[in-house]
Chain A
Amino acid sequence: MEEKPLKKPQESKSVKKTITAQKAPEFTYKPFQLQQFSCVGKSVLKIDGISLARGRALFTDDFQIPQVHYVKFLYSPHAHARILKIDTSGAEKIPGVVDIIHCFNSPQTLHTTAGQGYPEPSPYDTMMFNSTVRFIGDKVAAVLARTPQIADKALKLIKVEYELLPPLFDFEKAYEPGAPQLHPEPGKGYLAGMTYKPEENTCALVEINCGNFEAGIKMSDYTFDETFYTHYASHAMLEPHAVLSYLDEQDRLVIISSTQVPFHARRICAMILGIPERRIRVIKPRIGGGFGCKQEVFLEYYAAYFTLRTGLPAKIVLTRREVFRSTRYRHPMRLHLRVGTKPDGTLQAIWIDALMNNGAYGTHGLTVLSNAGSKVLPLVNKAPHQRFTGRTVYTNLPIAGAYRGYGATQGYFALNQMFDIIADRLNLDVVELFRKNAIRRGETSPIFEKLGEGKAGSRQDIESCGLPDCIEVGLKEIDWYAKRRKRLTDGTRVRGVGMACMMQGSGIPRVDMGSAYMKMNEDGSINLQVGATDLGTGSDTILAQIAAETLMVPIEDIIVKSSDTDFTPFDVGAYASSTTFVSGCAVLRCAQQIREQILGVAAEILREPAESLQMAQKTVRGKARALTFREICQYALYTENQFQIQASSSYVSPVSPPPFSAHFVEVEVDRATGDVRVIKYIAAVDCGTPINPRLVEGQVEGAIVNGISWTLIEEFRFDEKGAQLNTDFGRYKLFTAADIPEIKTILIPTYEPNGPYGAKSVSEVAMNGPAPAIANAIYDAIGIRFRALPITAEKVFQTLKTQSTR
C-alpha cells in the first residue's frame, strides 16, 4: 500500500468535544411475523440433553474395550530441526511397550490435515512424521504401550539426534529474502494447483479485484489507511481430542473419534494407511465441543496405524497441555485496510490486504485467508471498487487451523474499527455509516462470485437480510444515543459504547454436500440417519425438528443417528456454518419423499387420489376415513405391494445465504488499572427462521463469551525458542461464569427462501463481533484505539501510562 493518500482528514486534537451529539432517530422496528410451524421455531428440548446431563452419553474416551493400549507422543523440543537419527532400543526394552513409530518406519505420504472436501484447498505439506520438525510440539515419535504411564516412561528413553536449523518466528518477515525456508522439499503443494511458493514461505496467495481500486481511490474525497493485528488463540473446547481404534470381528478398522468430519477422516486415513475406505468405519460419538479444532485429521491415523500393525486396540487422549501445544489454533493476521470515501461517508473504494501466519504447516491457509475478504467485503457492497489481496506464510510456530469465524473474525476486527475511525474523523454516527454502506435485501456483491473457497465463488443475491433491523433494535437496547461519546465517569472508571456489524455464510456453495436417509417403522416413528456431525451444537435436534415438521409427527418419533460412516450417508461434516442449512435441506427433501410415500400408501388403501388426502398428527385423512401411520406402515410392510417406506436425499446449495448480526457493547475502563470490564452486550441476530430459538441463542452467547474472552484475556505467550509457555487453564485463562457481563441475544427473524423452513446458519457469525465492538467502545471511553489484539489490562494500563507521561 504505497500510494499517498490524496486528502487525509486532520486528526483533531479534541475529537470528542468538537463532535456534535447525535440525536436518536425514531424507533420504528416492527418484527417480521414468523410463519407458524408446529415443531420448527419451537425451543424443543435438545434430544441428547438429559443423557448428557446425567453423564450417560458416551464420549470417545468413555468407550472401554478390553486389551486397549495407549498412545503417547514424543514432541520436538526445537522449533526447527532436521532429525538425523532416532534410537528406540532403550524404550523398546520397557515391559509393556508394544510398538514405536517415527519418520523412519511409517508411511511417508504427503497430505494435509485439513478436514475439507476433496481435493482439499490446503497444501499437501505434511506427513505422519516429518523428518524435519517445524515447531515445538511437532510429533517426532509415538509409543504404544499397555498403560499411559508406561508409554510416558518409554518416551523419555527415545534418543533423537537433531541438526538444528534457524527458526523463523516473525511472520511479517517470513517472505523476505534470506528468511529460513520451512518447506524446501520438492513435491509439496496443492492437488488442485493453487499458487504455492515455498521459496517465500508462502502457502497461499490471493488477489481479487472488483471495479478499479486505484481509480476509486483517486475519485475519493477522503482516504484512510490503517493496520490491525489479531492473535493466536486456543479453541479450548472442554473435551481434549480423543481417538480409539480397534479391529472388529471381520478385521475391519473401527475408529471412534472426537471429530467434526468423520467422512473426511475416513478418506484421509485410507489414503495415509494405504487401505481402501471399505476397511474403515469412523464413528463420531458425543463430542465435547470443537469450534474448528476437530475439523482436522491429525490423530486418527496414528491410533489406526498402531492397530493395523499390532492388532491391538489403541487409544489416544490428549492432555490439556498437548491441546495447547500440538493441535490447532486461530490464525494470527495482519490486516491493512485502505478505504476511500465521499464526504458523506459513502465508500468509493476499499482494499483489504491480509498477511496470515499459518505456523508450521499450511492447513486451511488459503481458505481462512480468503474468508477475511469473502465474508467481509460483501457486507460493504456500496463501495464500487474493491480489492482483496492476501498472503499466508509459514513460521516455526504452532499450526493454525479452522476456528469458529474462520478469517471473517479477523477481517471484521479490522473493518469495524475502520468504520469507527472513518465515522469519528468525518464526524458521523458510525451506525449511519453502516446504514449507508451495508448490503441489503435484493442486492449482491461481485465478491460472492469472484472469491470462493480455493476457487471462484458463487454468484448470489441476498434474499433475506435483517441487518437494518438488527441495528435498530440493538441501538435501542444499549441506549446508544444516551451513552455514545458521553464518557460517563465514576472516579477512575469511564464508560463507552461501541458497535460492530457482521455476516457469515451458510455452508460452502457448490462444494458442501449433506445427505439424509429415512425409513418408517410400524408405530409411525421414523429413523433419520444423517452424516451431519453434532459437536454439541444441537444439530441432531434441529434436523429432527425439520423432519418432524415435514411429517407432522412429534419430535419423539424421530430417531436420529448421526455420523457413522458405515450406517449414515455422506456429509461433509460440521464446519462452515453448514449443518442447519445444507444438511437441513437434505433432511427436508428426504422427509418430503417419505411424506409422498405415506400418502401414496394411504391412497392405495383408501382408493382415493393422494392429492385429496390430509396429513396431520400421525394420521392421513381421506373422505371415507382416517388411517393412522401405524395402519399405513403395517399395510406397506405386510399386506399388499409390500415395501419399506424409505427415502434418501442429498443437497448441495448453489448459494450460501449469510446470517447477519449487529453487536453493541458497553464497557467500563479503569484508568488507574487498565482493567476493561464489559458491562452489557447486545447481539441482534438475523439467522432467518430460528429452527430452535434456545439453541440459536446458545450458539450466539457461546460465541460472544468466547469472543470477549479472546479479546481481553486470552493470549499465547512464547519464549524466545518458540515454545508456548501458558499451556494450561491456570495460565491461559478463559472467562468463567463469574466474569460474564449482562448478555442479551435478540433474534431478528427473517425468512430465507433457500433455507429449510426459512432458516440460515448461526454457529459462527457472532464470533465476529466482540473484538471490534469492544475496541470501539474502549475508544469511545478513553480515546485510545487498540489496533492489535488482545486488549489486556496490562496493555491498556501501559498505553495510558505512556500517554499521560507524553
Chain B
Amino acid sequence: MQVKLTVNGETNTFKIQPGETLLETLRAAGYTGVKCGCEAGDCGACLVLLNDLPVNSCQVLTAAIADEAVTTIEGLSRDSLANLIQQELVAAGGVQCGFCTPGIVVSATALLRANPHPNRAEIQQALASHLCRCTGYVKIIEGIQNVARRL
C-alpha cells in the first residue's frame, strides 16, 4: 500500500507493508539517523517529531499517520536549536557511541522549544524515556544545561 507523508518538509509517497512502523518506513527510505534499539518503545533511539511532538517511531504505524508531518534527526540538522544541542552535547562529552544521540537531540529540541530554561529535574524527566548505556547520562544532562544557558 501507499502512504503520503511529509518528511523533513518534503512530501513523498512511501510504499509500505501492512503493519509497517514509521521506524521501518523511515529507515528503508534512507533516514538512517533514526536508530532502532528495541522496537518496543523502551529506549528512545527511534525518536522523531510527529507534527512537532516527540514520538517513538517504532510505536507508530505508518498507515495511521497518512498526510502528517515527520521530522527526523536529518531534518533537525538544519535547525539552529538542534545544531546548538548537537554542539553542546559533543562539547560536554555527552556523545560516546552516539547510537542514542539522535533520539536525545530530538527530545532535547522538543524540550527546549517548549521550555528554554528547564531545571535539572525537568531535563532528567525529559530524558527519562531514553536509554544510554555509555555515558551514565551525566554529560548529556550537562550538555543540555549548557544549551539552556546559551538561550
Interface set of A (CB-CB < 8 Å, partner B): 43, 45-46, 48-50, 52-59, 61-62, 64, 149, 235-240, 286-289, 291, 317, 319-320, 535-538, 694-695, 697-698, 701-706, 728-730, 734-738, 740, 743
Please judge, given known A-B contacts A698-B134, A734-B131, whether A54 and B77 are in contact too, CB under 8 Å. Answer: yes
* CB of B143, distance to nearest CB on chain A (Å): 10
Question: With A61-B27, A287-B97, A737-B128 given, can you name 11 additional A-B contacts, CB distance below 8 Å?
Answer: A53-B89, A55-B77, A237-B97, A238-B35, A238-B133, A286-B97, A320-B42, A705-B136, A705-B137, A734-B131, A736-B127
Do residues A695 and B37 form an inter-chain contact, with CB atoms below 8 A? no
Do residues A56 and B38 form an inter-chain contact, with CB atoms below 8 A? no
Task: Confirm or deny: B118 has a beta carbon within 8 angstroms of a beta carbon on chain A.
Answer: no
Identify the closest chain B residue to A742 (Cβ).
B138
Which B residues are CB-close (under 8 A) to A320? 37-40, 42-43
Do residues A235 and B38 form an inter-chain contact, with CB atoms below 8 A? no
The listed residue (A49, A238, A698) touching B43 by CB distance below 8 A is A238
A729 to B43, CA, bound (A): 7
Do residues A46 and B93 form an inter-chain contact, with CB atoms below 8 A? yes
Do residues A536 and B37 form an inter-chain contact, with CB atoms below 8 A? no
User: Can you list 28 A-B contacts with CB-CB less than 8 angstroms, sorted by A residue number?
Assistant: A43-B93, A46-B93, A52-B98, A53-B85, A53-B86, A54-B77, A55-B105, A61-B32, A64-B30, A235-B133, A238-B35, A238-B45, A239-B99, A288-B97, A289-B97, A291-B133, A320-B43, A537-B96, A694-B93, A698-B135, A698-B136, A698-B139, A729-B38, A736-B137, A737-B128, A737-B140, A740-B124, A743-B136
A320 to B36, CA, bound (A): 9
Do residues A738 and B95 form an inter-chain contact, with CB atoms below 8 A? no
> Contact string, B64-103, partner A, CB cutoff 8 A, digits 1/0?
0000000011100100000001110111110111111110
Do residues B93 and A238 form an inter-chain contact, with CB atoms below 8 A? no
Identify the closest chain A residue to B20 (Cβ).
A149
Task: Tell me the dominant secondary structure on chain B's binding face.
Answer: loop
Which B residues are CB-close (under 8 A) to A738? 124-125, 127-128
Which B residues are CB-close (under 8 A) to A701? 135-139
* CB of A779, distance to nearest CB on chain B (Å): 25
Identify the closest chain B residue to A728 (Cβ).
B40
> Contact string, B112-144, partner A, CB cutoff 8 A, digits 1/0?
000000000001110111111111111111000
Do residues A53 and B98 form an inter-chain contact, with CB atoms below 8 A? yes
Which A residues are CB-close (under 8 A) to B89? 49, 53
* CB of B61, distance to nearest CB on chain A (Å): 15
The listed residue (B42, B98, B99, B137) touching A49 by CB distance below 8 A is B98
A730 to B129, CA, bound (A): 11
Do residues B73 and A289 form an inter-chain contact, with CB atoms below 8 A? no
A414 to B87, CA, bound (A): 42
* CB of B5, distance to nearest CB on chain A (Å): 18
* CB of A654, distance to nearest CB on chain B (Å): 31
Please judge, given known A-B contacts A238-B100, A737-B123, A743-B138, whether A702 and B133 are in contact too, CB under 8 Å. Answer: yes
Please judge, given known A-B contacts A704-B136, A706-B133, whether A59 and B93 are in contact too, CB under 8 Å. Answer: no
The listed residue (B91, B99, B102, B136) touching A536 by CB distance below 8 A is B99
Which A residues are CB-close (under 8 A) to B40? 320, 728-730
Please judge, given known A-B contacts A55-B74, A239-B97, whether A706 and B130 are in contact too, CB under 8 Å. Answer: no
The listed residue (B96, B123, B133) touching A698 by CB distance below 8 A is B96
* CB of A581, distance to nearest CB on chain B (Å): 19
Interface set of B (CB-CB < 8 Å, partner A): 17, 27, 30, 32-40, 42-43, 45, 72-74, 77, 85-87, 89-93, 95-102, 105, 123-125, 127-141
Do residues A52 and B95 form an inter-chain contact, with CB atoms below 8 A? yes
* CB of A234, distance to nearest CB on chain B (Å): 10
Identify the closest chain B residue to A729 (Cβ).
B42
* CB of B10, distance to nearest CB on chain A (Å): 17
What are the 7 A-B residue pairs with the smallest beta carbon separation, nearest first? A55-B33, A536-B97, A52-B98, A288-B99, A705-B136, A49-B90, A729-B42
Identify the closest chain A residue to B126 (Cβ).
A737
Do residues A695 and B97 form an inter-chain contact, with CB atoms below 8 A? no
Do residues B87 and A50 form an inter-chain contact, with CB atoms below 8 A? yes
* CB of A743, distance to nearest CB on chain B (Å): 5
A31 to B45, CA, bound (A): 40
A645 to B136, CA, bound (A): 42
A746 to B10, CA, bound (A): 48
The listed residue (A53, A238, A317, A740) touching B137 by CB distance below 8 A is A740
Which B residues are CB-close (under 8 A) to A694? 92-93, 139
Identify the closest chain B residue to A59 (Cβ).
B99
Do residues A54 and B99 form an inter-chain contact, with CB atoms below 8 A? no
Identify the closest chain A residue to B72 (Cβ).
A55
The listed residue (A43, A53, A240) touching B102 by CB distance below 8 A is A53
Do residues B133 and A736 form an inter-chain contact, with CB atoms below 8 A? no
Please judge, given known A-B contacts A53-B89, A320-B39, A729-B40, whether A737 and B141 are in contact too, CB under 8 Å. Answer: yes
* CB of A152, distance to nearest CB on chain B (Å): 12
Do residues B90 and A45 form an inter-chain contact, with CB atoms below 8 A? yes
A787 to B134, CA, bound (A): 27
Do residues A53 and B90 form an inter-chain contact, with CB atoms below 8 A? yes
Which A residues are CB-close (under 8 A) to B135? 698, 701-702, 705
* CB of B35, distance to nearest CB on chain A (Å): 7
A53 to B79, CA, bound (A): 13
A454 to B32, CA, bound (A): 42
A735 to B74, CA, bound (A): 28
Do residues A58 and B133 form an inter-chain contact, with CB atoms below 8 A? no
* CB of B31, distance to nearest CB on chain A (Å): 8
Which B residues are CB-close (under 8 A) to A736? 127-131, 137
A43 to B133, CA, bound (A): 21
Which A residues are CB-close (under 8 A) to B30? 64
A53 to B107, CA, bound (A): 13
* CB of B25, distance to nearest CB on chain A (Å): 14
A701 to B133, CA, bound (A): 10
The listed residue (A288, A695, A698, A729) touching B35 by CB distance below 8 A is A288
A730 to B97, CA, bound (A): 22
Do residues A697 and B93 form an inter-chain contact, with CB atoms below 8 A? yes
* CB of A13, distance to nearest CB on chain B (Å): 40
Identify the closest chain B residue to A693 (Cβ).
B93
A763 to B53, CA, bound (A): 37
Which A residues are CB-close (under 8 A) to B132? 238, 737
Identify the closest chain A residue to B99 (Cβ).
A288
* CB of A47, distance to nearest CB on chain B (Å): 10
* CB of A119, distance to nearest CB on chain B (Å): 31
* CB of A419, distance to nearest CB on chain B (Å): 25
The listed residue (A57, A61, A536, A730) touching B96 by CB distance below 8 A is A536
